[in-house]
Amino acid sequence: MSKTIAVNAGSSTVKFKLFDMPSEKVVAEGNIERIGMDMGHAKIKYGNGQVSEEEKPFPTHGTAVSYLLEQLIGLGIVKEYHEINAVGHRIVAGGEFFKDSVVIDDDVMQKISELAEYAPLHNPAELQGIKAFKQVLPDAFAVAVFDTSFHSNMPDMNALYSVPYDWYEMYGARRYGAHGTSHRYVALRAAEMLGKPLEDLKLITCHIGAGASITAIKDGKSFDTSMGFSPLAGVTMATRSGDVDPSLVAFVQSKLGVSSEEMIDLLNHKSGLLGLSGLSADMRDVQAAAEHGNKQCKLALEIYENRVLKYIGSYLAELGGADAIVFTAGVGENDIDFRQAIGDKLAYFGVKVDPEKNNVRGEERDVSADDAKIKVLLIPTDEELMIVHDIERLRKQA
């Protein structure tokens, strides 16, 4: 039986799922975290509830992928690498090059590299993963699935910035968004849960994790999204600032005496929850400190929640209402209080979260009250399954 592996590389993580095909049964899954930090953590679930965990440094995404491939053999998950005949890679930035998933060749890899400036935390890491897999599995059918492709056909009024139009024509200056694979998956699941065609629904999907984005979906397509030219824009995130006045960026850069590259690094790695709290990028750490009276952490949480609320509110106005608001990703799936707070503050629009239904983590569920005018859905994302579906679609076309 052939196997397909879906690889989802984040800025400091590598997640994977290994599927038996064509049944789409998951035979192994796991993640490697804290890549590039002093000590990393690897966890692989396989077999009948077996788990392998190890703490060790993973200096780069390439070393993390090499470790993962070694473990697949070492743990007996596969006997030989050629059992894996297809690999799908999640890539954040596809720019104007890629409006759909594509089979990976040298030209595609070159373009992914060229697009690194659009997603500096992700594209270089994801390219490392592609190269590492190609070394071990050179004959596997390899596909790149782009986060930006779902947003590539947004209306121009939402895709373009209020800057000279030449900037778009010459430099591709536009809103590209991200997390498109996740938004696409939860939108399809929401349509199934609501028993209606996706094309007939107006949805607001909230991918709230270390990276976070919110998308308005209309006629089955991305209508607007919070991330912009790069994944730095939008709501407050774990270490990313979200929206900031460009004049403030120039002002602080001058005061600090740093380069533009160093300034972007500060906004990507030292801002967000981490920068506001002065303590941690992890929501759980910030919440615990806030509960013990840390005023700076309390303020960080208020800002984090406020920015999400603003985007949802603006999208309700743009869409003329919504059928459902969907929460997914780490915080969206697991933070009960966060979902409740957002729902309560949107009561004016007919949103109503049932506290009893909402008392759940990571389980697909309608958490809205029976009389809610706008449904609130908790849908764990499955970007890896979407990647597998794109692989099979492109394999049939090859």
pLDDT in tens, 184-198: 999 999 999 999 999
Lowest mean pLDDT among 113-117, 288-292, 298-302: 113-117
Banded model confidence at residue 388, pLDDT cuts 50, 70, 90: very high
Interval 110-120 mean pLDDT: 87
Phi, psi (rounded to 5 degrees) for 155: -55, 145
Full domain range(s) for residue 57:
3-146
Q: Tell which of 84, 115, 146 closes a domain.
A: 146
Q: Are residues 137 and 211 in the same domain?
A: no
CA distance 179 to 93: 10
Q: Are residues 207 and 100 in the same domain?
A: no
94 occurs within a structural domain = yes
- pLDDT value at residue 133: 86
Given the DSSP bridges, would you call strands 202-208 and 84-91 parallel, antiparallel or unpaired?
unpaired
% of the chain exceeding 90 in pLDDT:
80
Q: Are residues 222 and 135 in the same domain?
A: no
What order do you get walking across the sheet with 25-33 strand by strand? 50-56, 40-46, 25-33, 14-20, 3-9, 84-91, 141-146, 102-103
Banded model confidence at residue 105, pLDDT cuts 50, 70, 90: very high
- pLDDT value at residue 398: 73
Do residues 10 and 240 lie in contact, with contact meaning Cβ atoms separated by under 8 Å? no
Is the pLDDT confidence value at 142 over 90? yes
% of the chain exceeding 70 in pLDDT:
99
E strand or H helix at 218 = strand 212-218
Interval 365-371 mean pLDDT: 96
Interval 168-181 mean pLDDT: 93
268 occurs within a structural domain = yes
Lowest mean pLDDT among 41-45, 125-129, 221-225: 125-129
Q: Are residues 248 and 365 in the same domain?
A: yes
Is the pLDDT confidence value at 87 over 90? yes
Q: Are residues 135 and 200 in the same domain?
A: no
Banded model confidence at residue 145, pLDDT cuts 50, 70, 90: very high
132 occurs within a structural domain = yes
181 occurs within a structural domain = no
Q: Is 147 a catalytic residue?
A: yes
Considering the candidates 105, 107, 147, 224, report the single residue annotated as catalytic: 147
266 occurs within a structural domain = yes
Is the pLDDT confidence value at 10 over 80? no
Banded model confidence at residue 154, pLDDT cuts 50, 70, 90: very high
